[in-house]
Amino acid sequence: MVPPAGAPLRLRHGTSKESAYEPYVADILAGLREAPKRIAPIYFYDARGSKLFDQICELPEYYPTRTEIQILTDSGNDMAARVGEDALLVELGSGSSMKTRLLLDRLPTLAGYVPVDISRSHLLNAAQGIAAAYPHLEVLPVCADFTQPFTVPRPRRAAKRIVVFFPGSTIGNFDPPDALKLLRVMHATAGSGGGLLVGADLVKDPEVLVRAYDDAAGVTAAFNLNVLRRLNAELGANFDLMRFHHRALWNPQARRIEMHLASACEQRAMLAGQAIDFAAGESIVTEHCHKYTVAGFGAEAAKAGWLAREHWLDPRQYFSVHYLEAAPSSR
């Protein structure tokens, strides 16, 4: 029996804390002790950061969201055919559900939908929205850090296969060794015969890339700086937001956009009783956004045991969505 629409969804797996990342002060301090200083991009997404990210997705310069939506709209039927009948769809980092709906609309026989997110409140809100819009779909939310293996809940109606859905080019936030680890975790999650439907942003004109991460309205700058505001508010730090500047740089060797917060002058900030010293011009790296080629992405995935089956592009070839199948695990 599927719970009635509107019934509260229970979290039966993962953590019961508000965020799977609490407490995080030790991680932040360790990153600020590295050279170069680093803050992981997961920390962007407090309530204000999540709102700013939604605004980024609407910016004229930020093409990835609308391009991926266009690909899902144009090729969604082919993707649904690949996912097949009676599958269990497991979405990683299931923030907004817009892209998911494009798939769910085309997958009437799905055995269940498992949204996985680190933020408990976002997860439950999104899951509730999906459960209300798809009353016959069993929704099984999991609050977890998806970079670590987690238990996939079993739907009441047995699934023929597990398909992991990982849109948004979030894979680009992981440096190559971590991306490979994540591809392996997803392979283990899907199991043999399982699938992976994943979005990956493509290498293109550096001007187009830089503008997407350094928009004229300054929304990305506000999004980047918000992480310091968050540390001030939540960890009692005293970063001076007027003395850090947003930078977006294209690194052609590593094929990635790098987001930095550059210190305008020599300065010291305090965090949890520890001094963090900055030279003038020194920066904190807050995000790497790796860009792929279609062949390059397939090759990385192959190292993790994935077989590339099909991919879809927009007419400008800005963004790619790939369907891969799990080769039987060698272990």
For residues 254 and 238, is the Cβ–Cβ distance under 8 A? no
Our CB check for ligand AVJ shows the closer of 64 and 305 to be 64
* Beta-strand relationship, 274-278 and 13-14: unpaired
Work out how close the CB of 132 gets to ligand AVJ at its nearest, in angstroms, rounded to a whole number: 26
Q: Which is nearer to ligand AVJ, 54 or 266 (CB)?
A: 54
Shortest CB 6 distance to ligand AVJ, Å: 30
The residues near 124 (Cβ < 8 Å, ≥ 6 apart) are 9, 11, 141
CA angle 160/319/60 to nearest 5° reads: 125
Q: Least separation, in Å, of the C-beta of 204 and ligand AVJ?
A: 13
Does the N-terminal peptide bond of residue 36 adopt cis geometry, omega within 30 degrees of 0?
yes
Nearer to ligand AVJ (CB atom), residue 173 or residue 226: 173
H or E element in which residue 47 lies: helix 47-58
Give the residue with the Cβ less far from ligand AVJ, 62 or 134.
62
Shortest Cβ 200–ligand AVJ spacing (Å)? 10
Shortest spacing between CB 1 and ligand AVJ, in angstroms: 36
Nearest distance from C-beta of residue 168 to ligand AVJ, angstroms: 5
Nearer CB in complex with ligand AVJ: 100/220? 220
Residue 213 C-beta: closest distance to ligand AVJ, Å: 5
In the bound state with ligand AVJ, the residue whose beta carbon lies nearer, of 56 and 114, is 56
What is the rounded CA–CA span in Å between residue 228 and residue 158? Answer: 46
- The one-letter amino acid code at 156 reads R
Minimum distance from residue 267 beta carbon to ligand AVJ (Å): 24
Q: Which of 179, 201, 193 is nearest to 82 (CA)?
A: 193
Q: Identify the DSSP state of 305.
A: T
DSSP line for 86-123:
TEEEEEET----HHHHHHHTT-TT-SEEEEEESBHHHH
For residue 32, give both structure tokens.
Answer: 């600020």
d(CA 3, CA 5): 6
Q: What is the CA radius of gyration of the chain?
A: 20
CA dihedral for 40, 43, 49, 50, sign (positive or negative): positive
When CB distances to ligand AVJ are compared, the closest residue is: 289
How many H-runs (helices) and E-runs (strands) does the chain carry? 9, 14
d(CA 296, CA 176): 11
Q: What is the distance between the alpha carbons of residues 303 and 297, in angstroms, rounded to a whole number?
A: 10
Is the CB of 159 or the CB of 198 nearer to ligand AVJ?
Answer: 198
Footprint of ligand AVJ (CB under 6 A): 56, 64, 168-170, 172-173, 213, 220, 287, 289
State in angstroms the smallest separation of the CB of 73 from ligand AVJ.
19
Pick the closer one to ligand AVJ by CB: 67 or 162.
Answer: 67
Residue nearer to ligand AVJ on the CB measure, 71 or 159? 71
